[in-house]
Structures are given as structure tokens and as C-alpha cells.
Amino acid sequence: MVKQGVVPDDLTKPFWDAANAGRLDIQNCSACNRLYNPPVAACTQCKSADNLEWKQMSGKGKIYNYGVVYDCPVRLLQQDQPFNLAVITLDEDPGIQMYSHLPGTPVDEVPVGAAVEVIFEETANGQKVPEWRVVG
């Protein structure tokens, strides 16, 4: 599945640069030790932007939940319908979620709770994006 191209902007550029380098970096407030995805302009706890940094994750997670998309609004993905769309939680912090199409997992045969690991796929304009596949 080829996703729409991504044009990094100021807030998200470190995330996308890391993906191009094969790393999963997630925003973190070093003062509060609190991870953020999606990234934020300021920490919601200390309200400061001064301590926001990007922290490399292990790339390990779990499948938290999923649905099957049959009627996708995004034109580029419609040729791939139906497809899985899962929510992954990171092992470092199960409160942090990421979307995944779960490449390699048959449609509607998603093992909720299973371990997954990050991979990186190219989007339509070559920007890489984190994806996840079931381990083992």
C-alpha cells in the first residue's frame, strides 16, 4: 500500500527525518518524562516547550485494537480496500499509540495483543513512514 506523500513541517520534521534514517523517534518532555504522539507544541503537563526533545524508541509494541476499512476517504488507498487499520501501543509507554496497516497480516485476521515491530515504508514522494508487522 503506497500512502500519500508526506511534507515534513516544523513540528514533525525530526520524526520524519528519523524515519528516513530507519529510527522511530518520539517526542518527549525531559522535564516531565512524558512521551507525545502526535507531537505537541508544548508539554501539556508543564506547559513548556523548552524541554521537548526527540527520543529513540525500541520499535517494539503491541496491537491494541483494529478495524477494517472498506470505504476509505483517501483516494490513493481506495484501490487497496478492504485493509486493516490497527492501533499499536509502544512497549516503552502503552499510552502512546501509532496507526498501522499491518503489512503481511491478512484482512480481518488481526491478533489483538500480539507483539509487533517497526519497519519503514516509502510513501508516494519517497518520505519514509513507520509501519508495523507482527513478530513471529
Partner 1 sequence: MTTEHAPASMYRATEGLGVWEHKGKVAAVGIGHSPTTRRWDGTPENTMGANSIFALRQAIADSGVDPSQIDGLVLDPVTTTGAHWPPGDPIPMDVVNHWNKTDDPLDGIAKLSAEWILKNMPELTNVKFTMYGQGCMSHAIVVAAQAVGEGRTHTCLVLKSWHNLEGRYNQSGISAQGEVPGTFALAPGRTLWGAPGSYGTALQFAEYCRKYGKSHDMMAPFMENSRRNGLLFPEGYWAQHRPEQLTPDDYLNARWIAKPANLFDNDIPIMVSGAYLFTTAERAKDMKQKPVYIINHASSRGAQRSVLPTLDEVEAETAATGRKIYEGAGITADDLSFENMYDGFALFHQFHIEGLRYRGMQNGDALDFYQKDISIEGPDPILPSGGNIGSGRSRFWMHTDCIQQIQGRAGARALTGVKPEIGVSGGPMPMGGNFTVWSATPD
Which residues here bind partner 1, judged by CB under 8 A? 3-9, 11-13, 15-16, 37-39, 44, 64-77, 82-83, 85, 87, 95-101, 108, 112, 123-125, 129
Nearest 5°: phi and psi at 47?
A: 65, 10
Q: Which is nearer to partner 1, 117 or 121 (CB)?
A: 121
Q: For the CB of residue 66, give the shortest distance to partner 1 in the complex, in Å.
A: 7
Q: For the CB of residue 129, give the shortest distance to partner 1 in the complex, in Å.
A: 7
Q: Which is nearer to partner 1, 48 or 65 (CB)?
A: 65
Give me the DSSP letters along 10-52.
TTTHHHHHHHHTT--EEEEETTTTEEESS--SS-TTT--STTE
Q: Which is nearer to partner 1, 112 or 135 (CB)?
A: 112
Cα distance between residue 48 and residue 27, in whole Å: 13
